[in-house]
A and B are shown apart, each in its own frame.
Chain A
Amino acid sequence: MESIIDTTKLELTKKDFESDQMVKWCPGCGDHAILKSVENVFPELGIAKEDFVVVSGIGCSSRFPYYMNTYGIHGIHGRAAALATGIKIANPKLSVWMITGDGDSMAIGGNHFIHVARRNPDINILLFNNKIYGLTKGQYSPTTPKGSKTKTSPQGSFEQPFNPGELVMGARGKFFARVVDTNIKMMTQVFSEAAKHKGASIVEILANCVIFNNKIHGLITSRETKVDNQLFLEAGKPMRFGKDNEKGIILNGSHLEVVTIGENGITEDDLLVHNPEREDSGIHIMLANMMPPEFPAALGVIRSVAAPTVEELIWDSVEHEKEVSPYKSVDDLLNSGSTWTVD
């Protein structure tokens, strides 16, 4: 995808975005690598540094705005999506980045999350999914696997979790991607694609909370198992993965299946070719739902469908109304309709 903005004049570097505040996440927390990746991406986007706004809710992850030297607002728990929507609609020129946790956006902010996906403002949403409440020290979240023992589920959680990707698409979201916090290169690339996508770009980051939920994404991220459990999706490419790239995904009837190329007469031509721009979200949902051990986890941009943004439609309507409205000033409005004069 081509960048819409000319980068040549700006020449920003990582340094331009590093804040002077001490970063207070635990050593080893996945959030550090995410911060690095964002610092990599911002100077590359061709956007002036004063045009970035970083918005968050509450949680460990939501401390993020303090660590970026941009305009920033650290909001209240769950409400970052509403803050970001207001900022973007009020000033569409701004590049708005929303930082949220799995508790922040799936629990208390679940309502705002589905509505931001549906409304489609052009903002970038980084969802730090560590499947736990970090800041409050280890309670289960709406993405915590059923059966997990946490401080508030000592017998193992009784609840079925959300899959954020499925939720985004259920809410008719247009962009969903997934990355792992162990791969800065992958994060940098995908964040950059999210930035370029016009609309609400939601990126789920499988993040590790070393203190309260260590290795929760271990099967997907650990050195030993990752090749068999990561499928990095690229538009127009067949879905292949594995140590020797020998495995692939096919659509068998109405469900996905893992196959090995060369076995049972399977060739590369049988594999599904990724099309993130498909309007229908059926296959995207199936891809988002793939999880080890049965499947690899789908990473990269799973869905990216063009659609008008809400702020575009609103401001187009403003321009139209300026042309057609009989009221050129508030005086006109006050004097409209039934009035009478006393001399």
Chain B
Amino acid sequence: MTEVKNKIIELKNAVIRFAGDSGDGMQLTGNLFSDSTAFAGNDFATFPDYPAEIRAPQGTVAGVSGFQIHFGSNDIHTSGDLADVLVAMNPASLKANMNWITKDAIIIVDNDAFTEKNITKAGYEDNPLSDGSLNGHLVVNGPIATLTKNAVSELDIDNKSAQKSKNMFALGMIFYMFNRDFTKTFSFFENKFKSKPLVVEANKLVLKAGYHYADTIEAFVNTYKIDPAPLNKGTYRNVTGNLATSWGLLAAAERSGLKLFIGSYPITPATEILQELAKHKQFSAISLQAEDEIAGIVSTLGASFAGALPVTSTSGPGLSLKSEALGLAVMTELPLVVVDVQRGGPSTGLPTKSEQSDLYQALFGRNGEAPLIVLAASSPSDCFYSAFEAVKLSVEHMTPVILLTDGSLANGSEVFKIPKVSDLPKIYPPIVKENDPDFQSYKRDEKKLSRPWAIPGTKGLRHRIGGLEKENITGNVSHSPENHELMSRLREEKVERVSNFIVNQDIIGDHDADTLVVSWGGTHGVMLTAVEQLLDEGHSIALAHFKHIKPLPKNAEELFSRYEKILVCEINLGQFVNYLRMRLPQFTYKQYNKIQGLPFTVAELKKEFIALLNE
């Protein structure tokens, strides 16, 4: 084919990975590209890859910070398996990311950063740019540092400050490559650096210089264009899972008329929830940074007794510390929402990596028979709806709820269609009116089996609750054997009856298939993508992705009975599959598990599914 200069090629979707040293501003670069992607009307999902150390030695692999974006004209459900374009600002970031790019990925590097010293620091023996190890890739190795310096030579700015804009040079090149518009990015600079006009100017000049450089040297042979995705009418934004969780909780506070109280202790990757909610006192949302996770949950339970909308957020190790208090919440039958943003365990484990390994802990990690509701969010934007539902169920059914999200949802972002809060369901707290003559603290609602919420300060309802077993109806302390059995069964039944108040489990894909793949929580995007691709390729397969874990949706049994082969996929050693084996033992479940601190890839799932289809 005779190539015309700068042919614009239309793509359906693409994955770009920005990588550099922690100080190179790769998260900002990624976010700015996301903004322009939104502006271009694409659907997208992103994932940051932070180094585990806050200030790892400069130039080392340990100090590499990355940001991946997957964008397209189709529905995008994941941040992408492998990158089609890698921006590597130094040798270490090239080294760290070679496993995460496609065989023919385009690589943009800052040639100036490939000094002997940096190459050695990254752990290379030879310069990877010249030793042939990048064969098969189109490598664009511009002297980015030098060109950045040149771009701002007219400005009264020292080189050290100028080099801070180096990332914008790379972004400019990517903008050229994908035919992007600067407008959004420029107005971002103007806002962000309002008081520093010189910095605004420098960033603009460098971004433009990168753009023109790519054009002038004909860096990419072709450029690319991705059409807008067919998004429904509405207003959209980008959200991470932790942000969506926080906002879902605030929306639930508004719909319930309750004041939110969060008592929490910082822990990766849950901290942003406490930080976000701490910003919103204007909604009477109260945050308490407790002295530990125990005080976090216990102060929250105190607030619950006092009539607040009670939330505590944590990750695995913190959930362990909260176990005893969760038992108290089960016994006192007060509302309480625990958000557990799962990470790699056990113990400190892999704090910055994602895993689905707290499911057993959520279901069973308490002394005594201590049932509670367990929900799992399925995507960053679903965190909003799952958090909302967690509150609704907890408050209306007077029971603790554990909402499981995970590190990949928490930090990953995607496009979120902004709902109107008034369109969300109303939440009805079963608060008892003063001097209610029928009030008894453990007299239950007939349908839900929930007990009434009698809030201190209300006339005529004085009563005592606590961790000792309660007598049915009166709520007095009781050691009666029959009463204990009755109460144990009532508490279990109360949680199981929640299945009358949640949606049925749905199936995606081919309803008549023989093969059902099953997943839960944060793997939704990658499972859906794999299944959609197989369906497109003509295979017959169905997906059941669970958000309601305890209780299971009522139709789960009927649904499983329709399939010959059931494969349960999880980022753990098989916690959900074993739970299903316990709850619905009549079916045979196969399992696919991965526990490397890494998400599933679409490719590995498809391979696994095809093998199963061919069995």
CB of A231, distance to nearest CB on chain B (Å): 34
A111-B291, A329-B254, A342-B234 given; A75·B466 CB < 8 A: yes
- For the complex, is A94 an interface residue (Cβ under 8 Å from B)? yes
Q: A82: which of B290, B304, B308 is its contact (CB, 8 Å)?
A: B290
The answer to whether B418 touches A90, judged by C-beta atoms less than 8 angstroms apart, is no
Tell me the bound Cα distance from A343 to B233 in angstroms: 5
Nearest 8 pairs between A and B by C-beta? Answer: A86-B302, A74-B466, A86-B299, A325-B282, A82-B298, A90-B303, A72-B464, A71-B456
Tell me the bound Cα distance from A91 to B306 in angstroms: 6
B247, B281, B477 — most chain A CB neighbours (10 Å): B281
Tell me the bound Cα distance from A83 to B456 in angstroms: 14
Classify the secondary structure of B's interface with A.
Answer: mixed
Tell me the bound Cα distance from A112 to B460 in angstroms: 32
Interface residues as binary, A23-63 with B (CB distance below 8 Å gives 1, 0 otherwise): 00000000000000000000000001111010110100000
Q: How many residues of A contact B (CB 8 A)?
A: 60
Chain B residue with the shortest CB-CB distance to A86: B302
The answer to whether A83 touches B302, judged by C-beta atoms less than 8 angstroms apart, is yes
A86-B263, A325-B282, A334-B421 given; A79·B295 CB < 8 A: yes
The answer to whether A331 touches B263, judged by C-beta atoms less than 8 angstroms apart, is no
CB of A61, distance to nearest CB on chain B (Å): 14
- For the complex, is A306 an interface residue (Cβ under 8 Å from B)? no
The answer to whether A49 touches B281, judged by C-beta atoms less than 8 angstroms apart, is no
B residues less than 8 Å from A48 (CB atoms)? 459
The answer to whether B281 touches A318, judged by C-beta atoms less than 8 angstroms apart, is yes
Tell me the bound Cα distance from A333 to B294 in angstroms: 31
- For the complex, is B325 an interface residue (Cβ under 8 Å from A)? yes
B35, B299, B300 — most chain A CB neighbours (10 Å): B299
The answer to whether B325 touches A76, judged by C-beta atoms less than 8 angstroms apart, is yes
CB of A314, distance to nearest CB on chain B (Å): 6
- For the complex, is B250 an interface residue (Cβ under 8 Å from A)? yes
B residues less than 8 Å from A71 (CB atoms)? 456-457, 461-464
Question: Chain B contact residues (Cβ within 8 angstroms of A): what range?
Answer: 35 or more
B residues less than 8 Å from A58 (CB atoms)? 467
The answer to whether B280 touches A335, judged by C-beta atoms less than 8 angstroms apart, is no
A residues less than 8 Å from B304 (CB atoms)? 86
30 CB < 8 A contacts A-B = A21-B477, A48-B459, A65-B466, A69-B462, A71-B463, A72-B464, A73-B465, A74-B468, A82-B290, A82-B294, A83-B298, A83-B302, A87-B306, A90-B303, A93-B457, A111-B291, A112-B291, A115-B290, A314-B286, A318-B284, A321-B280, A322-B281, A325-B280, A325-B282, A327-B283, A328-B282, A330-B247, A337-B237, A340-B235, A341-B235
How many Cβ-Cβ contacts under 8 Å join chain A to chain B? 203
The answer to whether A75 touches B38, judged by C-beta atoms less than 8 angstroms apart, is no
CB of A40, distance to nearest CB on chain B (Å): 19
Chain B residue with the shortest CB-CB distance to A326: B282
A51-B457, A66-B477 given; A86·B250 CB < 8 A: no
Chain A residue with the shortest CB-CB distance to B283: A330
The answer to whether A87 touches B303, judged by C-beta atoms less than 8 angstroms apart, is yes
CB of B464, distance to nearest CB on chain A (Å): 4
- For the complex, is B328 an interface residue (Cβ under 8 Å from A)? yes
The answer to whether A342 touches B250, judged by C-beta atoms less than 8 angstroms apart, is no
B residues less than 8 Å from A70 (CB atoms)? 462
- For the complex, is A8 an interface residue (Cβ under 8 Å from B)? no
A residues less than 8 Å from B250 (CB atoms)? 330, 333
Chain A residue with the shortest CB-CB distance to B332: A73
A73-B305, A89-B286, A91-B306 given; A334·B419 CB < 8 A: yes
Q: A76: which of B233, B461, B467 is its contact (CB, 8 Å)?
A: B467
CB of A114, distance to nearest CB on chain B (Å): 8
The answer to whether A75 touches B418, judged by C-beta atoms less than 8 angstroms apart, is no
Chain B residue with the shortest CB-CB distance to A112: B295
- For the complex, is B480 an interface residue (Cβ under 8 Å from A)? no
CB of B491, distance to nearest CB on chain A (Å): 17
A50-B462, A71-B456, A71-B462 given; A86·B284 CB < 8 A: no
Tell me the bound Cα distance from A112 to B301 in angstroms: 15
A76-B328, A91-B457, A331-B420 given; A82·B302 CB < 8 A: yes
